Amino acid sequence: MGGTGLRKMRLFNIALLGRQVWRLINNKESLCFKVLSSKYFPDGNIFNAKKVNRASFTWSSITAAAEFLKNGFGWQIGNGENIKIRDDNWDLKGLNRSTPIPNMLSSSDDSVKDLWMEHARCWNIEKVHRLYGKDWGDRICKIPIGNEN
């Protein structure tokens, strides 16, 4: 009787904040993106936001929603230049900078694109297996490589 009729207000709030996260990801020409990114995520990636001691309530809420939503996002490799081999986990639980076999990763291997065949948009399966072993290599090679965008 009365009220908003919403049973799970917390999830509804996350959904609304998630929409703001989506807008920040997709509308990089908006004033909101320009203002927030200049202060909180200068590299343009909301998921790489820097830690701030006294963030606004709005920004704290948006980052909490981004963290919550991040678990549900799947990777699509795209052009392979923005995903760093040593730093990003590519959405595979347990994959981190200590996963590659020691001394097998050369200094020139920086981004995921370096794990592809030289003139093709497909995984260099032999190189991936050499760097990560068979188990991790198979999991990595199942990640789809999307459009170049």
Number of domains in the chain: 2
At 111, give phi and psi (nearest 5°).
-110, 165
Comparing CA positions, the residue from 71, 52, 69 lying closest to residue 17 is 69
Global pTM reads 0.54
- State the Cα–Cα distance between residues 40 and 134, nearest whole angstrom: 39
In a domain, 138, yes or no: yes
- Whether residues 65 and 81 share a domain: the answer is no
Site of tokens 């927030």: 36
- Whether residues 81 and 61 share a domain: the answer is no
In a domain, 3, yes or no: no
- Whether residues 66 and 80 share a domain: the answer is no
- Whether residues 54 and 97 share a domain: the answer is no
| pLDDT confidence band for 49 (50 / 70 / 90) | confident
- Segment 77-87 shows an average pLDDT of 77
Q: What is the domain range of residue 45?
A: 9-70
Is residue 100 predicted with pLDDT exceeding 80?
Answer: no
Helix (H/G/I), strand (E/B), else coil: 76: coil
CA 58 to chain centre: 21
pLDDT at 90: 66
- Whether residues 29 and 95 share a domain: the answer is no
pLDDT at 17: 93
In a domain, 56, yes or no: yes
- Segment 119-142 shows an average pLDDT of 88
**31-39 vs 9-26: helix axis angle to the nearest 10?**
90
pLDDT at 96: 64
In this structure, of 71-75, 109-113, 142-146, the range with the lowest mean pLDDT score is: 71-75
- Whether residues 66 and 95 share a domain: the answer is no
- Segment 33-60 shows an average pLDDT of 88
